[in-house]
Amino acid sequence: MKTTSAEAYLDETTLIQRAAHGDAAAWEPLMQAHQQAVFRLCYLLLGDPDDAEDVAQETFLRAWNYLKRFDSTRPLRPWLLSIASNLASNRRRSAGRYLAALTRAFQNEIPQANLEEKNLQNNDANELWKAVQTLNFQDQQIIYLRYFMDLSVNETSEVLQIAEGTVKSRLNRALEKLRNVIQKDFPFLTEGHEA
């Protein structure tokens, strides 16, 4: 017998309520249901699978510790993604200076011809991801949530804890910046796509 979305939601609500009262067995299926999405967002924001795994684990630990404060009538995924996004932001901020110095040193050692050769070998998806990574964290975050994680405007609003109108305006600005980056630094991504 197939469960309806209302039954699935009720099951999640019941599991959340049980887990909030300390039932670890109820928390396990909730983690399993959302671990892929949480890891994916962490990986998109951090770019390193080990860091993403660490932040994903920390996300579920934090969620477990604060589950009593969570409104179980709301969907769990946006709340978890909000926690993951904040933790990833903190991780990036703390490692930012070190990574920036390493990146500069690495780029100074690689001849430009090798960078261009590498760009030719990568597929469009990797190049698009690189283009997105040139944006500031806030712009990356909104693009990843809306398009890479395929969240609705409403869900993105919940994750970022901002109004839906703000999501739309930030998304428009981020996409405009991305268009400019692609035109300037990744023009081959638009080849064959011009109207």
Query: What confidence category does residue 103 fall into, taking pLDDT thresholds of 50, 70 and 90?
Result: low
Cα–Cα–Cα angle for 136, 177, 92, nearest 5°?
10
pLDDT score of 19 more than 70 = yes
Q: What is the pLDDT of residue 25?
A: 93
| Residue pLDDT, tens place only, 126-141 | 778 888 999 999 999 9
Q: What is the pLDDT of residue 175?
A: 92
Q: What is the pLDDT of residue 156?
A: 92
Query: What confidence category does residue 102 fall into, taking pLDDT thresholds of 50, 70 and 90?
Result: very low
pTM of the model: 0.68
